[in-house]
């Protein structure tokens, strides 16, 4: 024993010479314990089980999904319904509010985005050799190029081209006189509103005869995949207030759900694939705190669409009114690098159709797209006339009815030729769209007083599919390519052609997102639809992945209703993929299930998810949101 340490002896007083305690031998049962090593022992699981036991009786008494409300906001419509419903309630996502004093400045809801001058008499000249409009300006030359492309496809399918069709149509339309329909013979007459309540929602807001004259401001709170900061001037509170008014009005009038019953309902929110985190946070705050719903789950559109279509993997193309989104879904999870947003949609088709018909002397010459009833005229013509099938091109006669406020309806006749197919071809020829005009007055949706404690960089919204699409526009060598990028040459038409004389290469701009020297997200939004789908599949992996997703393309949204969309998209994708992908088989567009409209397919898939047992692990309650905020969604959602 070392010196200085007394011999161990038993003290009579029981006081030890040291405070050190010899540890007891470990219990072998403790070494194999599974405490906090499984998900069943977490706080999330315990809360879920407690709620399940508390609500077991209520769930058994009601129909599955009856206590879950599925909300799918859109640029033009919002779809709301119980998960147990067969179809949702579709309401125009618009609010009209009275302003005091009435604003004298006009509040246009239509912003022209087709890059063209107003057609004049000289622009109506026709080239006798080919029957094409004589291109006397840049816009006319663009139309001539698109028309030549259409004629080539018609000759390939051995379809007859009618010479001088534009001259015949112009002569007929210029001489046509409208027919007045008596009021007692018009079953579809509109009950116009001259003056009403302080706030009008949905259809009532659209039936205002003269909104500005009556002191109303008509605004649409959603624009594409984000809030409409153009019409609201960046006021987040005004945007959220209008969204809340639309949801409350729909739940009360259409679903008979009183605000006192909100705490008994769960909300399944359908969000865009490329979502803004502020957009998600504010809508979650609106549902859980402002409106007081029981719990919330957020799901992306493309994944919900695959649920509705009954597929585990697919390339989902959503053609909306303002934007078109493309994303690949693999076994119940969206591949983040395949997401793309195109800044064009059904509204561009409507406007381009108006421009084309104006060039052949559209008989309703007072048409003004800034007026809602005139916009409805073009929307009706688009839904009945437009097609992407070359066999539908012909010098046919159509009719349409114009219903102006407090005036008898008038029936017009219209003769058109290839305008019905040139209008939807703008999705494949985006050179006609002025994208800079569409971006004007849109402000970033960021609130300085709110933080979510999740670090987000601007470059996080730049995906591999965007980089693939814009790498030929970058002034300097791009950063190292992502591992998912397939080594294929750039596809022709992946972005608008650069100018003939390129300036010398400059170093990357410091203010460009991600340091690429260009705005990758903005440049990628100009892609033709077929090129965007191919580049999205390329970002998923090699040739095998490309073949996998191009053989399972699902088209949803309002644009999917265009006749011939499947054939037109298949043929164009096949022409791109065949020379670039080895052993490429036939591209296939999968139709939606029977009796399910493509416009409601994403809502239908979200309703299917709302009735599954596995969704019990995805709910975020009010208590979770109060403590964790958007971090609670991060714990529950795989994509955040």
User: What's residue 566's pLDDT?
Assistant: 92
Residue 453: left (phi > 0), alpha (psi -120 to 50), or beta?
left
Q: Which residues contact 74 (CB under 8 A, 6 or more apart)?
A: 93, 222, 320, 321
Q: Please, what are the domains in the chain?
A: 122-188+347-432 (3.90.640.10), 311-343+460-592 (3.30.420.40)
Distance from C-alpha of 597 to C-alpha of 452, rounded to nearest angstrom: 37
User: What's residue 124's pLDDT?
Assistant: 42
User: What's residue 572's pLDDT?
Assistant: 92
User: What's residue 33's pLDDT?
Assistant: 65
Residue 224 has pLDDT above 80, yes or no: yes
User: What's residue 144's pLDDT?
Assistant: 87
Mean pLDDT of 453-459: 55
pLDDT in tens, 580-633: 988 888 899 998 888 889 999 999 999 999 998 888 888 999 988 998 888 888
Mean pLDDT of 361-377: 91
More confident residue, 450 or 484: 450
Q: How far does CA 377 lie from the centroid of its chain? A: 24
User: What's residue 219's pLDDT?
Assistant: 92
User: What's residue 394's pLDDT?
Assistant: 86
More confident residue, 65 or 284: 284
pLDDT in tens, 103-112: 555 455 555 6
Lowest mean pLDDT, pick from 215-219, 389-393, 435-439: 435-439
How do the residues of the chain divide into helix, strand and coil, expressed in percent and rounded to 5? Answer: 40, 15, 45
Residue 548, token pair as written in the block = 């996998």
At residue 483 the predicted structure's pLDDT band, cuts being 50, 70 and 90, is very low
User: What's residue 541's pLDDT?
Assistant: 84
Residue 552: left (phi > 0), alpha (psi -120 to 50), or beta?
beta
Distance from C-alpha of 372 to C-alpha of 109, rounded to nearest angstrom: 9
At residue 384 the predicted structure's pLDDT band, cuts being 50, 70 and 90, is very high
More confident residue, 508 or 253: 253
Residue 59 has pLDDT above 60, yes or no: no
| DSSP per-residue letters across 381-445 | HHHHH----GGG-S-EEEEEEE--TTS-EEEEEEEESTHHHHTGGGGT-GGGB-HHHHHTT----
Residue 322 — φ and ψ, nearest 5°?
-105, -40
Residue 132 has pLDDT above 50, yes or no: no
pLDDT in tens, 313-333: 999 999 999 999 999 999 888
User: What's residue 111's pLDDT?
Assistant: 58
User: What's residue 569's pLDDT?
Assistant: 93
At residue 484 the predicted structure's pLDDT band, cuts being 50, 70 and 90, is very low
Contact assessment for residue 474 and residue 265, using Cβ atoms and an 8 Å cutoff:
no
More confident residue, 124 or 553: 553
Task: Work out the mean pLDDT of the chain and round it to a whole number.
Answer: 82
Residue 141 has pLDDT above 90, yes or no: no
**Tokens 């585990």, residue located:** 312
Residue 250 has pLDDT above 90, yes or no: yes
Q: In 3-state terms, what secondary structure has residue 365? A: coil
Q: Checking DSSP bridges between strand 313-319 and strand 553-556, what pairing results, if any?
A: parallel
Among 240-249, 385-394, 488-497, which range has the highest average pLDDT?
240-249
Residue 134 has pLDDT above 70, yes or no: no
More confident residue, 141 or 330: 330
How many other CB atoms are found less than 10 A from the CB of residue 610?
Answer: 24
At residue 504 the predicted structure's pLDDT band, cuts being 50, 70 and 90, is very low
What percent of the chain clears pLDDT 90, i.e. is strictly above it?
44
User: What's residue 13's pLDDT?
Assistant: 56
């Amino acid at each position: 024993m070392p010196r200085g340490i007394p011999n161990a002896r038993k003290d009579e007083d029981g006081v030890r010479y040291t405070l050190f305690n010899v540890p007891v031998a470990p219990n072998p049962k403790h070494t194999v314990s599974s405490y906090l090593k499984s998900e069943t022992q977490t706080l999330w699981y315990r809360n879920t089980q407690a709620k399940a036991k508390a609500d077991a009786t209520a769930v058994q008494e009601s129909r599955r999904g009856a206590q879950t409300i599925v909300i799918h906001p859109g640029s033009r419509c919002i779809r709301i319904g119980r998960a147990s419903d067969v179809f949702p309630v579709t309401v125009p996502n618009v609010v009209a509010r009275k302003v005091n004093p009435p604003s004298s400045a006009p509040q246009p809801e239509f912003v022209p985005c087709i890059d063209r001058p107003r057609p004049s008499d000289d622009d109506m000249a026709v080239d006798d050799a080919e029957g094409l409009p004589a291109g006397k300006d840049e816009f006319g030359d663009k139309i001539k190029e698109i028309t030549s492309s259409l004629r080539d496809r018609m000759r390939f399918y051995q379809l007859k081209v009618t010479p001088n069709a534009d001259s015949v149509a112009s002569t007929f339309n210029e001489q046509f006189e409208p027919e007045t329909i008596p009021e007692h013979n018009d079953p579809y007459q509109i009950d116009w509103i001259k003056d009403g309540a302080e706030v009008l929602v949905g259809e009532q807001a659209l039936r205002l005869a003269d909104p500005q004259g009556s002191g109303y401001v008509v605004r649409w709170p959603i624009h594409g995949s984000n809030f409409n900061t153009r019409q609201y001037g960046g006021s987040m509170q005004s945007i959220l207030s209008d969204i809340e008014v639309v949801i409350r009005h729909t739940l009360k009038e259409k679903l008979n759900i009183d605000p006192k019953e909100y705490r008994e309902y769960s909300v399944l929110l359908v969000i865009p694939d490329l979502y803004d985190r502020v957009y998600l946070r504010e809508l979650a705050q609106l549902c859980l705190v402002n409106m007081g719903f029981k719990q919330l789950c957020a799901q992306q559109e493309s994944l919900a669409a695959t649920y509705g279509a009954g597929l585990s993997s697919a390339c989902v193309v959503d053609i909306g009114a303002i934007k078109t989104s493309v994303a690949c879904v693999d076994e119940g999870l969206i591949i983040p690098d395949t997401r793309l947003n195109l800044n064009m949609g059904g509204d561009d088709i409507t406007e381009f159709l108006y421009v084309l018909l104006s060039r052949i002397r559209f008989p309703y010459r007072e048409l003004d797209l800034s007026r809602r009833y005139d916009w409805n005229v073009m929307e009706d013509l688009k839904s009945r006339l437009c097609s992407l099938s070359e066999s539908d091109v012909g010098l046919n006669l159509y009719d349409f009815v114009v219903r102006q406020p407090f005036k008898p309806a008038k029936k017009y006749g219209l003769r058109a030729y290839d305008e019905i197919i040139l209008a939807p071809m703008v999705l494949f020829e985006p050179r006609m769209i002025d994208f800079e005009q569409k971006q004007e007055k849109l402000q970033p949706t960021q609130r300085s007083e709110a933080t979510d404690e999740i670090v987000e960089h601007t470059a996080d919204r730049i995906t591999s599919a965007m980089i693939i699409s814009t790498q030929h526009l970058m002034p300097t060598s791009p950063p190292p390519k992502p591992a998912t990028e397939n080594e294929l040459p750039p596809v022709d038409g992946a972005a608008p052609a650069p100018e003939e004389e390129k300036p010398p290469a400059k170093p990357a701009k410091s203010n460009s997102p991600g340091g690429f020297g260009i705005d990758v997200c903005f440049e990628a939004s100009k892609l033709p639809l077929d090129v965007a789908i191919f580049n999205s599949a390329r970002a998923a992996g090699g040739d095998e992945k490309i073949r996998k997703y191009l053989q399972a393309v699902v088209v949803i949204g309002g644009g999917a209703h265009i006749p011939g969309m499947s054939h037109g998209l298949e043929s164009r994708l096949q022409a791109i993929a065949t020379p670039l992908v080895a052993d490429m088989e036939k591209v296939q567009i999968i139709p939606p299930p029977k009796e399910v409209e493509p416009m409601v397919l994403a809502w239908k898939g979200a309703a299917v998810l709302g009735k599954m047992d596995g969704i019990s692990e995805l709910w975020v309650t009010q208590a979770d949101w109060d403590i964790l905020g958007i971090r609670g969604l991060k714990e529950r959602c795989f994509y955040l």
